[in-house]
Every structure is written in C-alpha cells, then in structure tokens.
Amino acid sequence: MMLPSGWSDGSFIVAHGPMDRGFRTNLAITPQTLPETVTLESYVADMKDSMARTLEQYVVHKEGPARFGSLSGHLREHSFLAEGVKIGQYQLCVVTKGLARVFTYSVRAEKLSASRSTAEALFSGIQIQAAELKGGGTFKLPI
C-alpha cells in the first residue's frame, strides 16, 4: 500500500509465524493518539472507509463487538489484495481515553478461518497496563 505524502506507518510487528509461500503470518499493533471525543464506533467506521478507499479488493466478511480476555473492542474480519497476495486479517480495535490500539492478525486469506483460534488466543492474552492507558507503559503478550 502506498501511503500519502507526509504519512508514516506507526505499526509494529510483535510476533510472527511461519513463512507461507513468501508471506509470514504476523501480529501487529498500531497505537494512535486521538481526541478524547472520538468513540470506538466512529474510529472503526472511519478506519473501514479509509481501508475501502486504499486497499485493492477490500472485503469485510464479519464485524462487531468483541471481548478477548481483558480487552473489549470491535473485531473486524476482512481481506484484501496486496502485491498479488490475498491477505486475510482479524483486526481488534480498542479505544480508551484518547488512544486507539489496533491489534491486527494477518495471514493468507485462504487460511483465515482455520487460524481464527490462533488469533483469538493471541488477542485473549494481551494485557494493557494501567500506565499504558495514559500513554506510557507496555503491552503484555502471550508469547
């Protein structure tokens, strides 16, 4: 995906699985500071619109409220084409106190359904420390 001028990707991969025909399954986290008036609902709607405009063959398969361990948020299951590879993702969005955190599990699209339990286990093990809610602290992952 080409980013617009002046943009930079703030995501970072925190875990990756085995290589599969040139694509490595992974879990990425993208934190984003927001005005405190932004709600989870408005954030995920804006993100969905942006992805639909910028990703080739973007399709949302399922989405809705979700809870994994201590995290409550919005889970979206979607797919798109990137550099000729169909990618599937489970994307968990959590918004609290002016900070969005997007946890994205990516895999080849044809393996998305079969890998749901892996994504859910990773999401369930994420813990957000109290200090992190104020912009500091760390994430704890089950890896």
The domain that contains 118 carries what CATH number?
Answer: 3.40.1000.10
Question: How many Cα atoms are found within 13 Å in the side-chain-facing hemisphere of 110?
Answer: 4
Number of compact structural domains in the chain: 1
- What is the domain range of residue 122? 12-130
Percentage of the chain modeled with pLDDT above 90: 63
90 inside domain: yes
CB 69 within 8 A of CB 125: yes
74 inside domain: yes
Distance CA 22, CA 20 (A): 6
pLDDT in tens, 56-88: 999 999 999 999 988 899 999 999 999 999 999
Query: In this structure, is the dihedral angle defined by the CA atoms of residues 101, 68, 66 and 85, taken in order, positive or negative?
Result: positive
Query: Which of the listed ranges 19-23, 54-58, 125-129, 136-140 does the model predict with the highest average pLDDT?
Result: 54-58
